[in-house]
Structure 1
Amino acid sequence: MPYETIAIEKRNKGIAWLTIDNPPANAINETLMQDLEAAADELTADKSVRVVVIASNHKKTFVAGLDLKNAMSPSTDHGDDDNMIAKESARMQACFQKFAEMPKPVIAAINGYALGGGCELALACDFRIMGKGKIGLTEVSLGLIPGAGGTQRMTKLLGRAKAVELIFGAKRLKAEEAEAVGLIHRQVDPENMEANTTAFAEELAEGAVHAMGLAKRAINAAEGSLAEGLEIEANAFSETFETDEPGIGLAAFFQKEKPKFLNDS
């Protein structure tokens, strides 16, 4: 389907690049959220897509964050609803959650600034690879707080103490600093960003991506109660046998070979 603010390119080995292009600075607005939600649904349903990479067409910015001027401006459409801003926050949360729940690996390829909402979108991805720019939840410097899942995702990822430090201080971390604290998975040479991301995405794509999706569901469930998480894990384990991946993996194990989950034919 046609999109206004993103482009989807399918590459080798079932890797889909979702490139955000919302001039002038890739700010998050309603159009971009609609496109992201539709793209998430499309990529989830497309069985030929094994790995998704979220990138930016902007030279200096991954995603700038919420378009605050439009989001906070008075509108007759809001009526007397005092919770409109809360609803806007929930809207962004739900949008990004689609990528957090997508049953296949999602990589954020960050080659520019990812501050505020841009960081929150990256946090919703499974992996964050970063070349240049800075990343962080900087909303407190504006008298705001992260509202698209950032307080929750950063705390679960880094722990309360580090999340408090970074959010209260509105820290803007360079790639090497972000890697050191665990905010990103890998720092790469900005000039070879696409090549490095492609190599990592292809490595994932050659694996058992259906099993990865089921593992992702169980990992996400670990954020709730242990009993609920264990039940979801057991059911997800059972679902792995609905594909040929266990047969491929086990046969390769007993034959002492590398499993070939990706059919190149």
Structure 2
Amino acid sequence: MSYQTIEIEKRAKGVAWIFIHNPPVNAINEPLMKDLEKAAMELTMDQTVRVVVVTSKHPKIFLAGADLKGMLQNNSDEEEADNVIAKQCERMQYCFHKFATMPKPVLAAINGHALGGGCEFALACDFRFMSKGRIGLTEVSLGIIPGAGGTQRMTRVLGRAKALEYIFTAKQLEKEEAEKVGLIHQSIEEEMFEQEVTKFAEQLADGAIHAMGLAKQAINAAEDSTMEEGLRVEAHAFQDTFLSDEPAIGLAAFFQKEKPKFNLNE
């Protein structure tokens, strides 16, 4: 597939890197969302891709927020504007949810500011690593609220108390504090960033990716369903692990006291 606002680079062990490049500030607009959705579909269907890393080519910004000025200018009728803005929020939610539900591990390699929509996208990824910049849901400082899943995902990641604090105060966190409170998984020095993210991504890629995708499905159900429904999802996901050869590989290695070799890309 061809892309306008991103570049995809497929590296060793089945790790695919998505580089966001949407000048001047990596704002979230329709071309970028279309590219991200196409990429999510392409990398999901590509059996050689085992782990996805999303990062930025901008020197200071991982991903900026939506083009709010454009949204308002393009809609002079107040009632119609309200409707269009709500639909735009739903549009962004839909795009980000593609990564939250991708049946493969997704890493956000945050190498610049991830404020507002950028933070919301990062929260939709499974793992968040950060080398520089600040991260946070800053929308209330503009008189609006997070509208691309931020209120939901930050609450699930940090809990109600911290979500209220950070959203109400529009707090911008440096990488060290973001790691301390659990908003990101690891803060990494800039000079070691790509190396450390690659190391973690390749570690995942060597694992049972089909099982990880099913575990992700069950974990998502834990957030979105009742316990009863979540347990049903888990049981069916467990059953579906046997649709791949991973259980045979894992169990055979266990009984032979060897390390399982799930990754055929090696």
Q: Secondary structure at the match of 1:62?
A: coil
Please identify, of 168-177 and 73-82, the stretch whose mean Cα deviation from structure 2 is larger: 73-82
Structure 2 Cα separation of the partners of residues 98 and 19 of structure 1: 17
Match of 1:205 in 2: 205
Match of 2:115 in 1: 115
The two structures, once aligned, show a CA RMSD in angstroms of 1.4
Query: 1:81/1:130 Cα in 2 relative to 1: closer, same or farther (>3 Å)?
Result: closer
User: In the alignment, is the contact (CA less than 8 A) between 1:158 and 1:183 conserved in 2?
Assistant: yes
Q: Secondary structure at the match of 1:61?
A: coil
Q: Please, what TM-score do these two structures have when normalized by structure 1?
A: 0.97
What is the letter of the counterpart of residue 197 of structure 1?
V
Match of 2:61 in 1: 61
Q: Residues 20-31 of structure 1: matches in 2 within 5 Å?
A: 20-31=20-31
Query: 1:168/1:77 Cα in 2 relative to 1: closer, same or farther (>3 Å)?
Result: closer
Query: 1:79/1:166 Cα in 2 relative to 1: closer, same or farther (>3 Å)?
Result: closer
Match of 1:144 in 2: 144
What is the letter of the counterpart of residue 32 of structure 2?
L
1:129 aligns with 2:141: no
Offset from partner CA, 1:41-99 (integer Å, 9 cap, x none): 11111111100000000010000111122122134899946411110000000000000
Q: Secondary structure at the match of 1:26?
A: coil
Structure 2 Cα separation of the partners of residues 213 and 129 of structure 1: 20
Detail structure 1 runs of 4+ shifted over 6 Å in the superposition: 76-79
Match of 1:13 in 2: 13
Match of 1:74 in 2: 74
Q: Secondary structure at the match of 1:28?
A: coil
Aligned residues: 265
Structure 2 Cα separation of the partners of residues 77 and 263 of structure 1: 56
Match of 1:158 in 2: 158
Structure 1 Cα separation of the partners of residues 76 and 38 of structure 2: 27
Unaligned runs of 5+ in 1: none
What is the letter of the counterpart of residue 254 of structure 2?
F
User: In the alignment, is the contact (CA less than 8 A) between 2:75 and 2:81 conserved in 1?
Assistant: no
User: In the alignment, is the contact (CA less than 8 A) between 1:78 and 1:84 conserved in 2?
Assistant: no
Match of 1:237 in 2: 238
Please identify, of 108-117 and 81-90, the stretch whose mean Cα deviation from structure 2 is larger: 81-90
Match of 2:252 in 1: 251
Give the CA deviation at 1:258: 1.4
What is the letter of the counterpart of residue 254 of structure 1?
F
User: In the alignment, is the contact (CA less than 8 A) between 2:111 and 2:132 conserved in 1?
Assistant: yes
Query: 1:25/1:82 Cα in 2 relative to 1: closer, same or farther (>3 Å)?
Result: closer
Structure 2 Cα separation of the partners of residues 218 and 231 of structure 1: 9
Structure 1 Cα separation of the partners of residues 77 and 213 of structure 2: 39
Structure 2 Cα separation of the partners of residues 76 and 9 of structure 1: 42
Structure 1 Cα separation of the partners of residues 164 and 82 of structure 2: 28
